[in-house]
Amino acid sequence: MVEKQHDVDYTDPEESKTTNTDLPEVQKVTGEEQEECIFKMRCKLYRMRDDQWKERGTGNCKLMRHKENKKIRFVMRQEKTLKPVGNFILQESPLCDLIPMKNNDKAYTWSCNDCSEEAKIEMLACRLQTVENANKFKEAFEAAKKFNQLVKDDKIDELVYVPAIEDIEEQPDPADDPDKNKTAGEEGDAAGADDE
């Protein structure tokens, strides 16, 4: 079937004149402007809901040290939406005590006063790519918890400062997905979590 040509042009003549408007640069406020990143690692975060682990998101978990009050907090945002999924200050026991996940040496659980949605005590878990990364996470997390305790006790002369690292947003490497690594469980639920 041959299409007929029409005499009428239905395109908008004003649309063809593209105008290039320069929008002013808007400064992005994240709440991290007065902080410096001292640790950053990609992981998957879970939260305990209805007696099972529910996925909160995948992204970079960061330990951020405030430049003035020196307190360190855990911050994690979902990769694509940048929605906060974890946001809490590392506190003394019984909060923020890392417990290795049963049957998984790449995951840890802890309770904390999470403020990512509303301030409340939450049970969280994170699963990391490798055992080596899990050990680095544990070491940094526990050092930050000890640092915050010294700040709280006003023992400034005993503080050991970890150098700040550059905190740039980067595109994640698909090979760095905690669900896709070769040593994960058959269903990819190495944290014993139901991905619902």
Side chain identity at residue 151, one-letter code? V
**Token pair belonging to 69:** 């009050």
Is the predicted pLDDT of residue 17 greater than 50, yes or no? yes
- What is the CATH number that goes with domain 35-162? 2.30.29.30
Q: Name every residue whose Cβ is closer than 8 Å to that of residue 44 and which is 6 or more positions away in sequence.
A: 55, 57, 58, 126, 127, 178, 179, 191
- Calculate what percentage of the chain has a pLDDT beyond 70: 76
What is the spatial distance between Cα 156 and Cα 179, in angstroms, rounded to a whole number? 41
pLDDT of residue 175: 60
Predicted confidence (pLDDT) per residue in 151-182, tens digit = 999 998 888 888 888 877 666 666 666 666 54
| CA distances to 14, 49, 120, 127, 137 from 55, in Å | 48, 10, 18, 10, 19
What is the spatial distance between Cα 102 and Cα 127, in angstroms, rounded to a whole number? 12
Closest by Cα among 76, 78, 72 to 62: 76
pLDDT of residue 143: 94
**Token pair belonging to 37:** 């990143």
Predicted confidence (pLDDT) per residue in 95-153, tens digit = 999 999 988 999 999 999 999 888 999 999 999 999 999 999 999 999 999 999 999 99
| CA distances to 41, 145, 148, 178, 187 from 132, in Å | 12, 20, 25, 13, 22
Is the predicted pLDDT of residue 89 greater than 60, yes or no? yes
* Domain range summary for the chain, segments of one domain joined by +: 35-162
pLDDT of residue 100: 94
Is the predicted pLDDT of residue 28 greater than 80, yes or no? no
pLDDT of residue 134: 95
